[in-house]
Amino acid sequence: MKKKLLTLHTARLNNNCPTCFGTDGLEFTFVQEKTETLFFKKPAKQIDKKLYCHTCKNIIYPVNWTEDIERVYAYNKKIAETNKHYLKVKPLFYILIITALIVVAAIAYILISNL
């Protein structure tokens, strides 16, 4: 089983950084963890967010966000949530299901023909 981080959306902001007050360094990143096995691919329900300032090289935590940053966050979160929760099965899953059905049908046929 492999777990990967999938970047859903990245956005640069023109808002002031609450730490260094720079206007060109803020960047939102929305990340979702994706689990991949031999049978299926499935992303996690939770979408993680990170606000990073490239000017002062700090992560800005939600406690320090201003109202402007909150509004921009709400807008960008809607964009990032377009990749909803899904389950994508792989061909190996279908092969195993068909094989199991054939085996059950063969056993039922043998049991019925012996009566």
Name the helix (H) or strand (E) containing 67.
Answer: helix 67-80
Residues 26-49 have a mean pLDDT of 86
CA distance 69 to 97: 49
**Which pLDDT score is estimated for 17?**
86
Provide, rounded to the nearest whole percent, the portion of the chain with pLDDT above 70. 97
**Which pLDDT score is estimated for 32?**
87
Lookup result for tokens 């902001």 = 13
CA distance 63 to 86: 31
Q: Which of 21, 26, 23, 22 is nearest to 11 (CA)?
A: 26
Residues 37-62 have a mean pLDDT of 87
**Which pLDDT score is estimated for 6?**
82
Instruction: Kindly report, residue by residue over 74-112, the tens digit of the pLDDT.
Output: 888 888 776 666 778 888 889 999 999 999 999 999 988
Write down how long the chain is.
Answer: 115
Beta-carbon contacts of residue 91 (< 8 Å; ≥ 6 apart): none
**Where along the chain do its domains lie?**
2-89
Q: Is beta strand 58-60 parallel, antiparallel or unpaired with respect to 40-53?
A: antiparallel
